[in-house]
Amino acid sequence: MLSILGKLTKSQIRLGLFFGTLVGLAIVVGIVSLFPSASDQGYYPEQPIPFSHKLHAGTNKIDCKYCHVGVTRSHHASIPPMNVCMNCHRVVKTDSPHIQKLARAYRDGKPIEWVRIHRLPDHVFFNHRPHISAGVSCETCHGDIKEMDRIYQSKPLTMGWCLNCHRGETTPEQVLENLGKKRGKDGRADVAPVNCSTCHY
């Protein structure tokens, strides 16, 4: 091996190192591209039943917590169980083919396979409960849900975006008021911890 290297010129060695580096970078980029993006902002999947938050949360003014029952006491907001849907749809719009599909699945004990939209990486711990307790509205992170016929990810949900809120830079005013915080001259209010272990452990 050393005898082969000894016969190469400096320019050939440099060229080999250059192309070796390019190949290494291509491999790293290829591996990274296998992992999900840090932000799926704009993700807009079709659902097995076209559920309109605009109709339910907007027009009919159904509180988010009625359907997402775990949000005030759990880490997760959770997808509503079908019996919550059937509380109303035993009698409401029973002639709709979509409601009939829901009722059939409920009767047969088969879940509706909703497509998850808001997903954080596995190394991130997010707890809905303290955010809701602090007065952070669903719209702060999920966008104007009451105007969405079809849900999509409207916010980036990246680490930087979350940290800006924890520092109070983009925190809604009513949350600052609930927490008894005021923005300083730098625009920050330090409303929540920003140390790594807050979200990563």
Residues 106-147 pLDDT 10s: 999 999 999 999 999 999 999 999 999 889 999 999 999 999
Averaged pLDDT, 176-181 = 89
Buried b (16+ CB within 10 A) or exposed e, 36-60: eeeebeebeeeeeeebebbebbbee
Cβ(69)–Cβ(84) below 8 Å: yes
Question: What percent of the chain stands above pLDDT 90?
Answer: 61
* Predicted local distance difference test score (pLDDT) of residue 19: 76
pTM surpassing 0.75?
no
Task: Tell me the CA end-to-end span of the chain in Å, nearest whole number.
Answer: 46
pLDDT of residue 2: 46
Distance CA 65, CA 54 (A): 15
- Mean pLDDT, residues 146-159: 95
6-32, pLDDT tens digit by residue?
566 777 777 877 777 887 787 776 665
| Averaged pLDDT score across all residues of the chain | 88
pLDDT exceeds cutoff 80 at 37: no
Q: What pLDDT score does 62 carry?
A: 95
Domain ranges across the chain: 2-32, 53-79+114-198
Could you give the CA distance from residue 193 to residue 171 in angstroms, rounded to a whole number?
Answer: 13
